[in-house]
Amino acid sequence: MSSARFVLLSLCSALLLQAALGADPLFHFCSDPENFTANSPYEYNLNKLTSFLNTKTPPSGFGLGSVGQYQDQVYGLALCRGDASPSVCKACVANAGAEIRSRCPRNKGAIIWYDDCMFKYLDTNFFGQIDKTNKFYMWNLNNVTNPALFNGRVRALLTRLAKAASSIPRLFAAGEKGVEGKTKLYGMVQCTRDLSAAECKACLEGAIGELPSCCDGKEGGRVVGGSCNFRYEIYPFVNV
Ligand SMILES: *[C@@H]1O[C@H](CO)[C@@H](O)[C@H](O)[C@H]1NC(C)=O
Ligand SMILES: *[C@@H]1O[C@H](CO)[C@@H](O)[C@H](O)[C@H]1NC(C)=O
Number of the ligand 2 atom closest to the C-alpha atom of 218: 1
Testing ligand 1's pocket by substitution, the residue of 30, 34, 35 carrying the most ligand atoms inside 8 A of its CB is 35
| Span from the CA of 86 to the centroid of ligand 1 (angstroms) | 37
The DSSP letter of residue 24 is: P
Q: How many CB atoms lie within 10 A of CB 49?
A: 24
Output the CA 217–ligand 2 centroid distance in Å: 10
Q: Give the global pTM.
A: 0.89
pLDDT digits (tens, 9 = 90+) for 59-108: 999 999 999 999 999 999 999 999 999 999 999 999 999 999 999 999 99
Q: Grade residue 12 by pLDDT with cuts at 50, 70 and 90.
A: very low
Are 77 and 127 in contact by the 8 Å Cβ rule? The answer is yes
Sorting pLDDT into bands at 50, 70 and 90, what band is 22?
low
Q: Given the CA of residue 34, which atom of ligand 1 is nearest to it?
A: 13
Q: Which protein residue's CA is at the shortest distance from atom 9 of ligand 1?
A: 33
The set of protein residues with a Cβ atom below 6 angstroms from ligand 1 is: 33-35, 106
Of 140, 141, 143, the residue with max ligand 2 atoms within 8 A of its CB, to mutate for a pocket test, comes to 143
Closest CA to 50 of 67, 30, 71: 67
Amino acid at 153: R
Query: Which of 20, 99, 93 minimizes the C-alpha distance to 58?
Result: 93
Q: Are 201 and 161 in contact (CB under 8 A)?
A: no
